[in-house]
Structure 1
Amino acid sequence: MKLAHFDPFVGQHCETTAAGCLLRHLGIELTEPMLFGLGEGLGFIYWNMKTMDFPFIGGRVKPDLLTENLCRNLNLTRTIQETVSVKKAWENAARLIDAGIPVGLKLDCFHLDYFSSKIHFAGHYVAMYGYDEEFAYLVDTDQQGGKVKTFLQNLALARSEKGPMSSRNLSYSISCDGERPDLREILKTAIHNNAKDYLRPPITNIGYKGILKTSREIKKWFETSKDRKRDFQTTATLMERAGTGGALFRNLYRDFLLEAYELTSQSELKDASHAFDQIATLWTSVADHFHEAGETSDVKHINDAAEVLVELSVREKIAMEDLLRATAK
């Protein structure tokens, strides 16, 4: 059973790719930067727990919140289902497919057949558009192959995996029951909300404060790491190519702000777009320093990364303050 006339969304980031697939099936066509921006997705977190092999560096808001914000801003309804039962979890997803509705799934990409790098990350999203007796048919990010498939038993393992960022076999669908709001109005609301939340982090490992904290913590991490090559090169890969880190999300937000400027003619949004273009380049340099730190085990690369992170904390704070003022009315 596969959905008829299903047109996959091509994206770089997993949650916006899944959302794009579900919205496109409703006839709603938006670019990935617009999905990310309307989802108030820009953020930062440095997360370290004793149960984790090494700290996690993330460049966006927490999992699920992006889609929640997106649906709220677009006046869409998101229906979520969670269960500890593997059997019930499959029934929840298959029932939607049988009804002609694509379904979003949150899972651990470690178990997916088509992933070449086997890293546990339970905050990954895919859109499911079909299944048969052996396989589930999915849409993942462009770099993971777009339209892909995985064995049903592996999908079940991925959905039920426990650990950081995991959910209880979470699946969701999106429906359009009301009128679409004026895009120009919700743009300003989304930008204002994102800037406000970014600038007022509830704890010091989030937002610009989190970036500053990371500049200190990576030095401790380097000294205590039992496998520097694995830790820092895996983190660099996650940041730059696996869709968790800074540059990808800053580039998406840059493009979102440029689209917002073209719709509103508000010059401050264009200025902020230029600022995030430069910020994204600095995030790539952080990943490069991490990679070299893992390759050489030379603390110089960690110290260089720390200096860039200090600068990023300042630049992002200024950019978000500018956006908060520009959208205050």
Structure 2
Amino acid sequence: MSMVKDIDPRGVQHCETTALGVLLRHEGIDLSEPMLFGLGSGLSFIYWDSKAMGFPFLGGRIKPFELTRNVAAALGLDLLVGETTSPRKAWQNVAVHIDAGRPVGLQLDSYHLDYFTTKVHFGGHIVAMYGYDEQDAYLVDTAPQGGAVTTDLAALARARAERGPMTARHRSFTITAPGGPVSPQDRIIPAIKICADAFLNPPIANLGHRGIEKTAKQVPKWLERSDDPQQDLPRAAALMERAGTGGALFRNLYRDFLAECADLIDNGPLRTGHSLYAEAAALWREVAELIATAGESGDAKTLTRAGAVLHELARVEREAMQALSRVQWPG
């Protein structure tokens, strides 16, 4: 058996911030989940649909692992990433760090994990690993998945080797703080502005505020778009509210990040941005409820209402990000 000592196996709502929290606390850096999400400029929006997809996908955050890269860069941390096509080398990349007393982050497909309650393929899932024995790996996953959990080593190998959308090649990573614990305070404003700029200036029409506007036009057609609306629409609503988003398609997390920032920085545009994201979080919850109801009832008028709320959301979030792009230190 090999086990990293002094692990704080706190699971939170979102997988990547859960794993990041474990690795950072081991380095003496203890930040809230909203702060990690915000420092990683994690908020985004994507409306994704294609002929090959059974049903459209709504995403509320940046690509898997980009959050980790952004947090490491913002805090001046050393991020060591291993990728390989060899399962044997992939295991060595993990074991060498755990044997040396350091937890490791893994990107894998959650479908294969023993403890996972919902069996769907998702190749962008991220966990922290802190130990292993002859049979099991010891992991930290989100609070809804159980926090400190174990999975069979063969299942872990399958999860890491899976190919397909959002997967990585046996990706593993460690984080070290070369200068010791760091304060995030002077990195908050740059992280907010990076997020706002990407949201306000999307390169294509299905991203950022333009993507929300596109969704407003597409959602009223979802009963016709689906082969099985009673299943597809409630599932889409559940992905927005649960599925590691922290609620309201990650808007709750960003609202809470801005609230933490407002306690540290006295700035009018920041308070405006926080107020608007509180409004946006409530509106996203309403959209999810309307979509779920439409799936259960088959009533197209409910989706028309959801479209109207999404149109309002595009405006609210655009105004919020315009305010946040003007945030600065007082004085």
TM-score, scaled relative to structure 2 = 0.94
Q: Is the 8 A contact 1:75 1:180 kept in 2?
A: no
- What residue in structure 2 maps to residue 319 of structure 1? 320
3-state DSSP class of the match of 2:174? strand
Q: List aligned pairs for 1:26-105, cutoff 5 A.
A: 26-105=27-106
Match of 1:326, SS? coil
* Counterpart for residue 218 of structure 1: 219
1:1-329 matched pairs, under 5 angstroms: 1-178=2-179, 183-244=184-245, 247=248, 249-327=250-328
Secondary structure at the aligned position of 2:64 is classed as: coil
The structural deviation recorded for 1:147 is 0.6
SS of equivalent residue, structure 2 residue 326: helix
3-state SS in 2 of match to 1:105: strand
SS of 1:313 mapped into structure 2: helix
Q: Residues 273-300 of structure 1: CA distance to partner in whole angstroms, max 9, x if unpaired?
A: 1221111011111111221122122222
| Stretch of structure 1 that moved more, 286-295 or 190-199 | 286-295
* Cα distance in 2, alignment partners of residues 301 and 156 from structure 1: 44
CA distance in 2: counterparts of 1:5 and 1:182, whole angstroms: 22
Q: 1:85/1:284 Cα in 2 relative to 1: closer, same or farther (>3 Å)? A: same
Q: Is the 8 A contact 1:59 1:246 kept in 2?
A: no
CA distance in 2, matches of 1:277, 1:57: 20
Q: Which amino acid aligns with 2:229?
A: R
Structure 1 pair 95–191 and aligned structure 2 pair: CA distance change class (3 A): same
How far apart are the structure 2 equivalents of 1:32 and 1:19? Answer: 9
Contact conserved, 2:16 with 2:125, CA < 8 A, in 1?
yes
Q: Distance between the aligned counterparts of 1:93 and 1:117, measured in 2?
A: 26
Give the AA of the match of 1:279: A
Q: Name the CA shift for 1:229/1:87 in 2 (closer, same or farther; >3 Å).
A: farther
Q: 2-side partners of 1:273 and 1:214: how far apart?
A: 23
Retained in 2: the 8 A contact 1:33–1:255? yes
CA contact (8 A) 1:74 1:180 kept: no
Letter aligned with residue 266 of structure 1: N
**What is the root-mean-square deviation of aligned Cα atoms in Å?**
1.8
Q: Deviations over 1:120-150 (max 9, x none)?
A: 2111111111111111111111111111111
Change (3 A) 1:148 1:180: closer
Deviation at 1:85, TM superposition (A): 1.9
d(CA) in 2 for partners of 1:79, 1:201: 30
Shift of 1:244: 4.3
Unaligned runs of 5+ in 2: none
Deviation at 1:113, TM superposition (A): 1.4
Paired-residue identity, %:
51
Deviation at 1:52, TM superposition (A): 3.0
- Specify the code of the residue in structure 2 equivalent to 1:210: G
CA contact (8 A) 2:246 2:253 kept: no
Contact in 2 for aligned 1:63/1:165 (Cα 8 Å): yes
> TM-score normalised to the size of structure 1?
0.94
Unaligned runs of 5+ in 1: none
Deviates more, 1:163-172 or 1:28-37: 163-172
C-alpha separation between the residues in 2 aligned to 1:285 and 1:11? 24
SS of structure 2 residue aligned to 1:9: coil
What is the rounded CA distance, in whole Å, between the counterparts of 2:288 and 2:140 in structure 1? 27
Q: Does the CA-based 8 Å contact 1:59-1:245 persist in structure 2?
A: no
Cα-to-partner distance string for 1:34-92 (whole Å, 9 max, x where unaligned): 10110011111112234433222111111111111111110011111111222222221
